[in-house]
Amino acid sequence: MIRCLVVDDEPLALHILEDYISKMPFLQLVKATTNPIEALTIVQGGNIDLVFLDVQMPELTGIQFLKISNGKAKVILTTAYPQYALEGYELDVVDYLLKPIALDRFFKSVQKAQSIIQPVIKTVQQAEPVQQDDFSTDFIFVKTEHKIQKVYLHDILFIEGLKDYISIFTTAERIITLQGMKKMEDALPEKHFIRVHKSYIVALNKIDSIERSRIQIGDKIIPVGDTYRDDFFRIIEDKNI
């Protein structure tokens, strides 16, 4: 768990961030306070991993807080004023969230913080490739908007990339998660899955037919990109009889 502290002189802003943090299973809220001096004391105690820090506060500004805390915890700045962004990044903040903060933007920001604070924790975002010989029981955990969902590998038909999101199409449903295709590709066993396009990964055992550079899985037609064509057809050739 990443231990969090929220510092903002506006109670409504505190409430919103408390609610967002409660939706993230890898975040633990230690304290939410309107008092930056109290917050600084907590951070100096060394029990906080991540601070959500307002910039404009009457007693102590967020920039002053950053300078005094001297890197004791990672910081995500939260403010309605974009002009402080450059100074914040010069002080090595993780991210800069402009109010009003949307949940999807918050999610992306805390994932960035997680990759910095917990680089050895393996989730779907930094998944360790699963064992190749237990495909029928292997699974990954996927972070959706409100939960972490188990997905069995043998149920996956194909995966489609959509900018910062991916859609995982299974035999039962479509699952959308904030994720990159490269990290998802690295998380899947090469024996059973292959990247065939910049936007598609397919399960080899779910391919129904191949016609020229088009793959059919159920009702879905998936193109084979030029970059991936040779590797794909080499694998298909190995399985020909």
Mean pLDDT, rounded, for 29-52: 93
Lowest mean pLDDT segment, chosen from 75-79, 99-103, 117-121, 141-145: 117-121
- Cis bond upstream, residue 100 (ω within 30): yes
Contact between residue 188 and residue 175 where contact means Cβ atoms under 8 Å apart: no
Q: How many Cβ atoms from other residues are within 10 Å of residue 37's Cβ?
A: 12
For the ranges 20-34, 71-85, 145-159, the lowest mean pLDDT is seen at 71-85
pTM of the model: 0.51
- Which pLDDT score, from 0 to 100, does residue 86 have? 60
pLDDT of residue 165: 84
Specify whether the CB–CB gap between 83 and 96 falls below 8 A: no
Please provide the average confidence, as pLDDT, over all residues in the chain.
Answer: 84
Nearest to 205 by CA among 240, 169, 157: 157
CA atoms within 13 A on the CB side of 176: 7
Nearest to 194 by CA among 145, 138, 235, 153: 235
Distance CA 193, CA 130 (A): 12
pLDDT in tens, 164-214: 789 999 998 888 888 788 888 888 888 899 999 999 999 999 999 998 889
